[in-house]
Amino acid sequence: MGKILITGGLGQVGMVLSKALKEKYGDNNVVVSDIHEKGASGVFELLDITDVERLREIVQKHKITTIFHLAAILSAKGEADPLWTWDLNMQGLFNVLELGKKKLVQKIFFPSSIAVFGKQSKLINAPQSSITDPVTVYGISKVSGEYWCQYYHNRYGVDVRSIRYPGLIGHQSLPGGGTTDYAVDIFHYAVKNEDYECFLKADSCLPMMYMPDAMRATIEVMEADVEAIKIRTSYNLNGFSFTPEELYQEIKKHKPDFKITYKPDSRQTIADSWPKTIDDTEAMIHWGWQSNFNIQEMVMDMLSNLKVKYINEPIKL
Ligand code: NAD
Ligand code: AKB
Query: Closest ligand to 136 CA?
Result: 2
> Of all protein residues, whose CA lies closest to atom 1 belonging to ligand 2?
178
Helix (H, G, I), strand (E, B) or coil at 122: coil
Confidence (pLDDT) at 176: 81
Ligand 2 pocket test, candidate residues 73, 113, 266, most atoms within 8 A of CB? 113
- In b/e form, how buried is each residue of 89-125, taking b as 16+ CB within 10 angstroms? bbebbebbbbbbeeebbebbbbbbbbbbbbeebebeb
Which pLDDT does position 222 carry in this prediction? Answer: 98
**Ligand 1 pocket member 168 (CB < 6 A):** yes
pTM of the model: 0.97
Instruction: Collapse the DSSP code of 5 into the 3-class scheme (helix H, G, I; strand E, B; otherwise coil) and give the result.
Output: strand
pLDDT (0 to 100) of residue 233: 98
Based on its alpha-carbon atoms, the radius of gyration of the chain, rounded to whole angstroms, reads 19
Residue 23: which H helix or E strand, with range? Answer: helix 12-25
pLDDT in tens, 124-171: 999 999 899 999 999 999 999 999 999 999 999 999 999 999 999 999
DSSP-derived pairing of the beta strands 240-242 and 206-210: antiparallel
- Using most ligand atoms within 8 A of CB, pick from 164, 179, 181, 184 the residue to mutate for ligand 2: 179
Cα–Cα distance for residue pair 233/216, rounded to 1 Å: 20
103-128 pLDDT tens trace: 999 999 999 999 999 999 999 999 99
Per the annotation, the verdict on 138 as an active-site residue is: yes
* Ordered structural domains, the chain, with CATH: 3-166+211-232 (3.40.50.720), 169-206+239-312 (3.90.25.10)
Report helix, strand or coil for 227.
helix
CB 170 less than 6 A from any atom of ligand 1: no
pLDDT 10s digits, 14-32 = 999 999 999 999 999 999 9
**Helices 52-61 and 82-101, interaxial angle, to 10°?**
40
User: pLDDT value at position 309?
Assistant: 87
- For residue 176, how far is its CA from the centre of ligand 1 (angstroms)? 7
Contact at 8 Å (CB) between 116 and 267? no
Q: What is the dihedral of CA 86, 92, 95, 100, to 10 degrees?
A: -110
State whether the beta carbon of 47 lies less than 6 angstroms from ligand 1.
yes
pLDDT at 1: 78
CA atoms of 158 and 43, how far apart (whole Å)? 26
Instruction: Indicate if ligand 1 lies below 6 Å from the C-beta of 165.
Output: yes
d(CA 31, ligand 1 centre) in Å: 16
pLDDT digits (tens, 9 = 90+) for 170-214: 999 888 899 999 999 999 999 999 999 999 999 999 999 999 999
Write the pLDDT tens digit of every residue in 257-305: 999 999 999 999 999 999 999 999 999 999 999 999 999 999 999 999 9
What is the pLDDT at residue 310?
A: 85
Residue 49 has pLDDT above 90, yes or no: yes
Reply yes or no on whether the pLDDT at 314 is more than 80.
Answer: no
Residue of 5, 10, 13, 15 best suited for mutating to test ligand 1, as the one with most atoms within 8 Å of CB? 13
- Asked whether 184 and 225 are in contact (CB, 8 A), the reply is no
